[in-house]
Amino acid sequence: MTVSAQPFPLITSQAVRQALLDRKEIALIDVREEDPFAQSHPLWAANFPLSKLELEAWPRIPRRDTRIVVYGEHEGTDLAPRAANVLRGLGYSDVSLLDGGLDAWIAAGGEVFRDVNVPSKSFGEVVEAKRHTPSLPAPEVKALIDSGADVVVVDARRFDEYQTMSIPTATSVPGAELVLRVRELAPNPATQVIVNCAGRTRSIIGTQSLINAGIPNPVAALRNGTIGWTLAGQTLDHGASRRAPLEIPEANREHARRGARDIAARAGVPRIAYDALASLEAPGRTVYRFDVRTPEEYADGHLPGFVNAPGGQLVQETDHSAPVRGARIVLADDDGVRADMSASWLAQMGWDVRVVESVDAALRSEAGVPRVPAPDAAPVAAVSPATLASWLQAQDGQTVVLDVTASANYVKRHIPGAWFVIRAQLADALKRIPTAQRYVLTCGTSQLARFAAADLRALTQAEIYVLDGGTLAWIAAGLPVESGETHLAVPRTDRYRRPYEGTDNAAAAMQAYLDWEFGLIAQLDRDGTHFFNVV
């Protein structure tokens, strides 16, 4: 991560804003860790932590001549030139620095937002305001459940989020699956359907999806999701495993297909033949290709060149999945429901989106999960778990282990005595770590550790090794681990703690999050770059 001697061009915040208003392709990237990013950033900024940039750039910004604008500071240190240098090394040819960084953006009157996935969350608030999406408060929903009323609760989050905490009796039906599968859970059109998530966005989008697709049942969002449930003093379930049926009768599938196509057409979503996809690959245009089915279906067989992005999460996390604003998006499924529903929302969010027409199953010829493209790290000596264990057992202070994995993984389990380090902050971390004759870097698999080794080599004359196979190899060898925040060389800023996740959040934090969501529409109006158009 050494800084190139060749300077990078500067671009003003006004020029970035104009590019967004002109709907030109641009990737505005914030290279800080996720927590500082979540505290304040422009609406269309995407988080690309410098610590993981080599692993995230190619899959998320696929076109090497994309116009990229970089900003980000950490404790007075400008990370942007380091990140720009990495991007240049990865082959990107149009990289600029935001002149004056985030401070200049704010000084120029640019709006800044808190939290993550802000484009999608703010869009959800617009949808509710424009369509008056029905919702019921938590006490009323609980009363319906407790009375044995004819009510079905569906949780629109990922299955792992649902398992962490859920509404009693709720069934997991991730967002894009709702229109396809809800008739199996509520075959009686008089059954009340309640859609929930942790906060607001996915329950609003899920509820409105069912309404838009013409589901005959009365549908309502659980107002404020599991946060609202908790603030009402009600008890959540943990470890639930109810899932919607996999098999869909053809009659129900056809109803869902017609409803999804209708709303996609109203949103202006065109269809494209699979053999015409190459026509979208125009010079200067980025094309994201997403298969919006479940991960299991995707792994069983998918169209070549398509990556998996389950539709509900794609709509929820557009800033992560498609960080190039102004790019084209192509969606595929195998049922004519999930791609159309997902595309209908992306189109309303201002994206140029298309749906692949039905294809013969034989064309879904790729199976499994493709390897994420990433460059090769510079060569570094590797040490086996057994050898590292012997070095540590000597207790001579000569060996220090540095773990550059995600802090959540470190807290869960790590090599005894290993120090948690954020890669981009290695220089700061070394000031807090005992000096050693040799450093051994690790992470889950050693992939990120190998990139960190080159950074560390520029900071010390000590011997540098990478644990072969990473911490997973250490565990597989039956060697001991410890848990907790035992040795933090830097604060855990690599991940922003969402107020709506987990089970130990303070009521004040949850209420503050809801208040923030309520204020998003006013922020959108001040920002003016969103092009949301709810139909």
User: Quick one: pLDDT band at residue 90, thresholds 50, 70, 90?
Assistant: very high
- Residue 21 belongs to a domain: yes
347 and 238 in a single domain? The answer is: no
91 and 164 in a single domain? The answer is: no
Mean pLDDT for 226-239 is 96
Count, residues in the chain? 535
Angle at 318 between CA 225 and CA 253, to 5 degrees: 70
- Residue 237 belongs to a domain: yes
- Residue 455 belongs to a domain: yes
Contact 108, 22 (CB under 8 A): no
pLDDT higher than threshold 70 for residue 451:
yes
Distance from C-alpha of 214 to C-alpha of 195, rounded to nearest angstrom: 15
pLDDT higher than threshold 90 for residue 395:
no
Span 319-355, pLDDT tens digits: 999 999 999 999 999 999 999 999 999 999 999 999 9
Distance from C-alpha of 164 to C-alpha of 167, rounded to nearest angstrom: 11
Q: What global pTM score does this model have?
A: 0.94
pLDDT given at position 530: 96
Own/partner contacts of 14-23, CB < 8 Å, gap of 24 or more, are 14/108, 16/42, 16/69, 16/98, 16/105, 17/110, 17/529, 19/67, 20/44, 20/325, 20/529, 21/528, 21/529, 23/326, 23/350, 23/531
209 and 269 in a single domain? The answer is: no
Mean pLDDT for 1-21 is 84
Helix axes 53-60, 447-457, angle to 10 degrees: 130
404 and 318 in a single domain? The answer is: no
Q: Which domain holds residue 403?
A: 382-476
274 and 181 in a single domain? The answer is: no
- Residue 428 belongs to a domain: yes
The residue whose two tokens read 């495993």 is: 241
131 and 239 in a single domain? The answer is: yes
How does the average pLDDT of the chain come out, rounded?
A: 95
pLDDT higher than threshold 90 for residue 480:
yes
User: Quick one: pLDDT band at residue 96, thresholds 50, 70, 90?
Assistant: very high
Contact 415, 443 (CB under 8 A): no
49 and 138 in a single domain? The answer is: no
Span 171-224, pLDDT tens digits: 999 999 999 999 999 999 999 999 999 999 999 999 999 999 999 999 999 999
Tokens of 32: 């800080």
198 and 84 in a single domain? The answer is: no
Distance from C-alpha of 456 to C-alpha of 464, rounded to nearest angstrom: 8
Give the domain-ending residue among 436, 461, 476: 476
User: Quick one: pLDDT band at residue 10, thresholds 50, 70, 90?
Assistant: very high
Span 278-329, pLDDT tens digits: 999 889 999 999 999 999 999 999 999 999 999 999 999 999 999 999 999 9
Q: What is the DSSP string of 304-329?
A: TT-EE--HHHHHHTHHHH--SBT-EE
Span 103-150, pLDDT tens digits: 999 999 999 999 999 999 999 999 999 999 999 999 999 999 999 999
394 and 335 in a single domain? The answer is: no
Give the domain-ending residue among 211, 244, 277: 244
pLDDT given at position 420: 98
pLDDT higher than threshold 50 for residue 3:
no
pLDDT given at position 515: 84
215 and 321 in a single domain? The answer is: no
Task: Give the lowest-confidence range in 122-126, 281-285, 497-501, 521-525.
Answer: 497-501
- Residue 484 belongs to a domain: no
pLDDT higher than threshold 70 for residue 503:
no
- Residue 396 belongs to a domain: yes
Quick one: which H or E segment has residue 68? strand 68-71
Distance from C-alpha of 494 to C-alpha of 20, rounded to nearest angstrom: 28
pLDDT higher than threshold 90 for residue 74:
no
Secondary structure class of 409 (helix, strand, coil): helix
Cα 440 from chain centre: 30
pLDDT given at position 505: 64
**Alpha-carbon Rg of the chain, whole angstroms?**
24
Distance from C-alpha of 423 to C-alpha of 489, rounded to nearest angstrom: 11
Q: Which residues pair with 166 in a beta bridge?
A: 237
Secondary structure class of 438 (helix, strand, coil): strand
The total domain count for the chain is 4
pLDDT higher than threshold 70 for residue 1:
no
pLDDT given at position 5: 53
240 and 266 in a single domain? The answer is: no
User: Quick one: pLDDT band at residue 71, thresholds 50, 70, 90?
Assistant: very high
Quick one: which H or E segment has residue 39? helix 34-39
User: Quick one: pLDDT band at residue 513, thresholds 50, 70, 90?
Assistant: confident
- Residue 534 belongs to a domain: no
Secondary structure class of 384 (helix, strand, coil): coil
- Residue 211 belongs to a domain: yes
- Sign for the CA dihedral angle at 497, 498, 502, 507 comes to positive
Give the domain-ending residue among 115, 133, 156: 115
Pairing of strands 328-332, 352-356: parallel
Query: What's the one-letter identity of residue 290?
Result: F
Phi, psi torsion values for 441, nearest 5 degrees: -95, 140
Distance from C-alpha of 141 to C-alpha of 517, rounded to nearest angstrom: 22
Pairing of strands 463-467, 438-442: parallel
Indicate which CATH number applies to the domain containing 357: 3.40.250.10
pLDDT given at position 385: 98
Q: What is the DSSP string of 159-228?
A: HHHHHHSB-TT-EE--GGGHHHHHHHH--STTSEEEEE-SSSHHHHHHHHHHHHTT--S-EEEETTHHHH
Distance from C-alpha of 15 to C-alpha of 439, rounded to nearest angstrom: 45
Phi, psi torsion values for 145, nearest 5 degrees: -65, -50
171 and 194 in a single domain? The answer is: yes
pLDDT given at position 517: 86
Secondary structure class of 432 (helix, strand, coil): coil
Percent of the chain with pLDDT over 70: 98
